[in-house]
Amino acid sequence: MEIDVNVISFEPGVWNSAINVYDFVVKNIRPYTGDASFLSGPSAKTQRVWSEVKKALLQERANNGCLAIDTETISTITAFRPGYINKEDEVIVGLQTNQLLKRAMKPFGGIKLVESAVKERGLKVSDRVVDIFNYARNHNEGVFNAYDAEVRAFRSKHVLTGLPDNYARGRIIGDYRRVALYGTERLIQGKKEDFNAVGGEMTEHKVRLREEINQQIVALKDMTAMAAEYGFDISRPAANAVEAVQWLYFSYLAAVKQQDGAAMSLGNVASFLDIYIERDLQAGSITEEEAQEMIDQFVMKLRLVRHLRPGSYDEIFGGDPTWVTEAIGGLLHDGRTKVTRTSFRFLQTLYNLGPSPEPNLTVLWSKDLPEGFKKFCAQVSIDTSSIQYENDDLMRPNRGSDDYGIACCVSYQEIGKSIQHFGARANLPKALLIALNEGKEEKDGASVIKGIPALPEGPLDYYRVWDLFKRTLSELARVYAKAMFIIHYMHDKYYYESAQMAVVDTDPHIDIAYGAAGISIIADSLSAIKYAKVTPVRNEKGLTVDFEIEGEYPKYGNDDDRVDNIAKEVTNYFIGELRKHQTYKNSTPTLSLLTITSNVMYGTNTGATPDGRKAGESFAPGANPMHGRDSSGAIASLNSVAKLEYSDAQDGISNTFSMIPKSLGSNREEQITNLVATMDGYFGQMAHHLNVNVLNRETLIDAYNHPENYPQLTIRVSGYAVNFVRLSRAHQLEVIARTFHGSLS
Amino acid sequence: MYFPLQDIEAAKLNVDDPDHLRIHSLETFGTHDGPGIRMVVFVQGCQFRCVYCQNPDTLDVKGGTLVAIDELVKRAIRQKGFFGKDGGVTVSGGEPLLQRSKLKTFFIKLHEVGINTCLDTNGRLNNEEVHELLEHTDLILLDVKHINDEWHHKLTGLTNKNTLALAEYRESTGKPMWLRYVLVPGWTDQEEYVEEWARHFKDYKTVQRVEILPFHQYGKHKWESLGMNYVLKDLESPTEEVKQRTLNIFSKYLNNVVLK
């Protein structure tokens, strides 16, 4: 089939003379303000490929979550010959290895970790690869050569956790659109120009930059070679929609062949691809079904991204996530929406291929999004619980760009202009316990921070505790900043993301994304100390083992300023302290209130806290109130979280919100309207992020079996509400049987 | 009678503590009592003695908590962003009309800050004070429990005359109303009465929606924990067939009938 690309030409602009995808998008985007009625189901080809994939996914699950590992090859962009699922039906091709779901070794992050992951599966890394690392160094080795006793202590005592010092840091988003718009040849030329511009007296920075640029050029050449093996010439720009999707995917595929970063987001590609799709539709060269087919098959590939992980990794990031995050929607600075038909097509994949956590579809919510899109998002949430929402009206003006993606889970990142260095997390409740224990870790009494005086016996004094806690946080910030400097220095040195950086501006701005866990425990603990009477119970070593609380105290999650302001104040203080320290490559400190799934692990490793939480009990996830303590209803809970200042936590304030369909309204139409109103209400007060779970029968069954995980699950019955876990077992079963007849799932 | 009627106490409920409402509980994310997302104030105290009562813990007019009206208004304002164009505040119960004069104050204050008001009532009273309250009520959800007065007595312990009169009054004001009907097997599912009920309202212009609420057993544990004798403890929910039949009969005469 021959396609004349010049039949309908794109609107020209700065993008023709410089690498500037944004300009191309702004000039050519076709916002769509209609509803979802135009969408197509899956094509026959898609269904055939997907049915092969489903078989493989079942085998993977049956095989304890890992289908196969290649133990002979170090994964690079050009490692592995082409892999297919069902070649004749694949509209978009490319796998990370030569076989569906086979995992590859990426040992430059840390060979030890790869060896243990392989060993856990009863296999062995080949002698050849082991031998290579008798000579070559890796990130993990470098980091530990530079760590000092202080960092090691913070790390081993679980004050700083999940540090990317033995695995890839991830978080960087390449502007994968560039390969489609320009082709690799033009990008290589641009990088060569950048290299030549690094002149004058040499500095360490310039030398490093020159080396990096050349690594990027090599990556672009490798990308070209990889695509050529699949039979495509990506050195030139994509000529039509299917090529644009394919080119873009090759660029992303190169990234996930080279790196196994914890989170490797896709960016905001939907509306870029839409420009090509619209042009082809207009030219009559494709149908809507074919347009959907490209997106379905692309998304299918994104669902198949796999990395080799050891069991220990699962504690922090449960469920084998890859965070292929795609940001959909939002507005342009000029007031037009970025919602296009392809924004709908991406969401439609959740119907065509069924619900899925990946790609991590993130809707950039604005009060001014088209109604039809808002409703479709709400509908998809209700049907699949698979999408999350972030506040475009907050991030766009506050951070400055209207061309951004979401790095990892919740973090703003301007595409192609700026990157992030992942900073893992600090355990704030642990820090509080250190403050209450003369600078010692509460479990075995090892000294972690010097110069923290002992507290007098008896009930805790709020102002004294606050003072000691601040001193602890200052020290924590100092050590944390030091650890991150070392980690990112070494990561660049030994495990540089050349494939991703090849599609990012040379020498971009960098955010260093610090994180904090347990904000709700801190707020409640300090509130308890201030408003109730809290007396530590100490063991023979003088270490706190429990706390006696007399009286009531306001709890975070009930829209009560007395405690909500404590959460704000602590966040503000901590980021203030982090900002005082030097950062690698002069990156800008940001902070997240986010835990992923590690809230359970943090809990396990943290002793009893002054809020009444017992030793080992899980933290609440992200910035959520502690389980069961937000007893004033859903809106009060949302209002509390909404008060946290985004300017103090620009890396993201994560809130996970679960409802059952029935509590949203008695029919689908009402549920959709009410979920839209919920989002408008939450984001209207400049809240940042919301995970929306509209739970289905499976969840209720889980709640039946594990009621401890669902303290707030509420069901509306006509005229009143009841707490699900307080109904009798027989009633719960009845509700499980009744709620889902016909209408949903 | 499973609970004393408390006539004197009920009368005092309307006049004592004029700045406070006696409430049972608050729901911040109500989506089943009126349109949109609503703050639902469940007031304490009711003089109907419905055999199927789902909230027997709201009957005692001396129970509950006194909450300042201004505090409730403040709470509503904090939730206003979520109400959207349809939502607002609903007062349910319990029986709101027992605190009619205080509710008038509450609703006026809500209107001052632009919040929609809705009253969920069984129409126990129909007097001047109630009419004044209705002037400040954007929507009334009127629970007409049975069309036959004898059955209404059996079902609730009281007559349906006030309820029907209140419906007529609301109709005369031209302001919107939703009707509600709890469908209880053996008590309210008789075809002839369902038909009569629907016919009774067929010419009403102000009825925007009619809700059929099938009986369920979710209130059972409350009866048990209160140690009260629950005569319907073994009653099943209406069958699909009965629900459909009732829906069909209603729909012959009325618009926008919703089976919940």
pLDDT for residue A710: 65
Element (H or E) spanning B210, and its range?
Answer: strand B207-214
Q: What is B35-60 written as a DSSP string?
A: SSSEEEEEES------TT-S-GGG--
B55/A719 CB distance under 8 A: yes
**What region does A653 belong to: left with phi over 0, alpha with psi -120 to 50, or beta?**
beta
The alpha carbon of residue A409 is apart from the nearest alpha carbon of chain B, in Å, by 25
Cα distance between residue A567 and residue A645, in whole Å: 10
pLDDT band at A741 (very low <50, low <70, confident <90, very high): very low
A228 touching B (Cβ < 8 Å): no
A677/B36 CB distance under 8 A: yes
Nearest residue on chain B to A726, alpha-carbon basis = B221
A666/B31 CB distance under 8 A: yes
pLDDT for residue B190: 96
A437 touching B (Cβ < 8 Å): no
Q: When comparing pLDDT for A717 and B205, which is higher?
A: B205
The alpha carbon of residue B212 is apart from the nearest alpha carbon of chain A, in Å, by 10
The alpha carbon of residue A684 is apart from the nearest alpha carbon of chain B, in Å, by 7
pLDDT for residue A713: 54
A632 touching B (Cβ < 8 Å): yes
A251 touching B (Cβ < 8 Å): no
Contacts 24+ apart (CB under 8 A), B236-244: B236/B185, B237/B185, B238/B183, B238/B184, B238/B185, B238/B189, B238/B214, B239/B185, B242/B183, B242/B185, B242/B189, B243/B183, B243/B212, B243/B214
Cα distance between residue A442 and residue A83, in whole Å: 52
Tell me which of A558, A674, A678, A735 to substitute to probe the interface with B (most B C-beta atoms closer than 10 Å): A674
A737 touching B (Cβ < 8 Å): no
Three-state secondary structure call for residue A714: strand
Complex ipTM > 0.90: yes
10 Å CB burial of residue B133 (0-12, 13-18, 19+) is buried
> In chain A, which residues have their Cβ closer than 8 Å to the Cβ of B213?
718-719
Tell me which of A635, A725, A734 to substitute to probe the interface with B (most B C-beta atoms closer than 10 Å): A635
Q: Which residues contact B128 (CB under 8 A, 6 or more apart)?
A: none
A684/B81 CB distance under 8 A: yes
B84/A663 CB distance under 8 A: no
10 Å CB burial of residue A294 (0-12, 13-18, 19+) is buried
A678 touching B (Cβ < 8 Å): yes
Note the pLDDT tens digit of each residue in B8-67. 888 899 989 999 999 998 888 889 999 999 999 999 999 899 998 988 999 999 999 999
Mutual angle of helices A270-283 and A241-258, in 10-degree steps: 150
The alpha carbon of residue B38 is apart from the nearest alpha carbon of chain A, in Å, by 10
* Residue A7 confidence (pLDDT) above 60: no
Tell me which of A375, A669, A720, A739 to substitute to probe the interface with B (most B C-beta atoms closer than 10 Å): A720
For the residues B119-133, what does the mean pLDDT come to? Answer: 95
pLDDT for residue A743: 25
A34 touching B (Cβ < 8 Å): no
pLDDT for residue B103: 98
Q: When comparing pLDDT for A660 and B84, which is higher?
A: B84
Please report where in the chains the tokens 């479990």 appear, as a residue: A443
Residues of B near A (Cβ–Cβ under 8 Å) read: 26-33, 36-37, 39, 42, 54-55, 78-79, 81-84, 86-87, 92, 120, 182, 211, 213-214, 216-221, 258, 260
C-alpha distances in angstroms, A420 versus A355, A405, A406, A565, B136?
A: 29, 12, 11, 29, 55
At A731, give phi and psi (nearest 5°): -65, -40
For the residues B92-112, what does the mean pLDDT come to? Answer: 96
Cα distance between residue B18 and residue B68, in whole Å: 9
A633/B81 CB distance under 8 A: no
C-alpha distances in angstroms, A584 versus A75, A259, A474, A513, B178?
A: 27, 21, 19, 12, 64
B37/A674 CB distance under 8 A: yes
C-alpha distances in angstroms, A577 versus A429, A452, A476, A574?
A: 17, 17, 9, 5
Beta-bridge partners for A506: none
**What region does A47 belong to: left with phi over 0, alpha with psi -120 to 50, or beta?**
alpha
* Residue A455 confidence (pLDDT) above 90: yes
Beta-bridge partners for A653: A593
Element (H or E) spanning A661, and its range?
Answer: helix A661-664
Q: Which of A275, A305, A327, A409 is catalytic?
A: A409
Tell me which of B24, B28, B31, B258 to substitute to probe the interface with A (most A C-beta atoms closer than 10 Å): B31
Note the residue count of chain A.
745
Q: When comparing pLDDT for A709 and A361, which is higher?
A: A361
10 Å CB burial of residue A145 (0-12, 13-18, 19+) is exposed
CA dihedral (A32, A38, A40, A41) in degrees, to 10, reads: 110
pLDDT for residue A703: 80
A670: nearest CB among B26, B31, B221: B31
Concerning whether A408 is annotated as a catalytic residue, the answer is yes
Three-state secondary structure call for residue A33: coil
A3 touching B (Cβ < 8 Å): no
* Percentage of chain B exceeding pLDDT 90: 79
pLDDT for residue A735: 53
Q: Where are the beta strands (DSSP E) in B49-99?
A: 65-68, 88-92
Note the pLDDT tens digit of each residue in A327-366. 999 999 999 999 999 999 999 999 999 878 789 899 999 9
pLDDT band at A660 (very low <50, low <70, confident <90, very high): confident
Domains of chain B: 2-259 (3.20.20.70)
Residue A261 contacts residue A501 (beta carbons within 8 Å): no
Residue type, A363: V
Residue B121 contacts residue B34 (beta carbons within 8 Å): no
Concerning whether A66 is annotated as a catalytic residue, the answer is no
Q: Which residues contact A534 (CB under 8 A, 6 or more apart)?
A: A459, A460, A525, A528, A547, A548, A549, A550, A610
Note the pLDDT tens digit of each residue in A297-321. 999 999 999 999 988 776 667 667 8
Residue environment code for B26-36, b if the CB has 16+ CB neighbours within 10 A, otherwise e: bbbbbbbbbbb
The alpha carbon of residue A211 is apart from the nearest alpha carbon of chain B, in Å, by 53
CA dihedral (A712, A326, A507, A19) in degrees, to 10, reads: -160
Residue A671 contacts residue B74 (beta carbons within 8 Å): no
> In chain A, which residues have their Cβ closer than 8 Å to the Cβ of B218?
715, 717, 720, 722, 727, 731
Nearest residue on chain A to B40, alpha-carbon basis = A720
The alpha carbon of residue B179 is apart from the nearest alpha carbon of chain A, in Å, by 13
Beta-bridge partners for B27: B40
Tell me which of B23, B28, B48 to substitute to probe the interface with A (most A C-beta atoms closer than 10 Å): B28
Element (H or E) spanning A659, and its range?
Answer: strand A656-659
Q: Which of A223, A327, A408, A608 is catalytic?
A: A408
Cα distance between residue A102 and residue B105, in whole Å: 69
A636 touching B (Cβ < 8 Å): yes
Element (H or E) spanning A684, and its range?
Answer: helix A668-684
A631 touching B (Cβ < 8 Å): no
A681: nearest CB among B81, B217, B220: B81
Q: Which residues contact A610 (CB under 8 A, 6 or more apart)?
A: A432, A436, A460, A525, A526, A528, A529, A534, A536, A547, A549
Q: Which residues contact A608 (CB under 8 A, 6 or more apart)?
A: A544, A545, A546, A547, A614, A615
Cα distance between residue B167 and residue A598, in whole Å: 57
Number of H helices, E strands in chain B: 9, 9
Beta-bridge partners for A658: A693
Q: Give me B62's structure tokens.
A: 């001396």
Kindly state the DSSP code that residue A276 receives in the 8-state scheme.
Answer: H
B28/A664 CB distance under 8 A: no
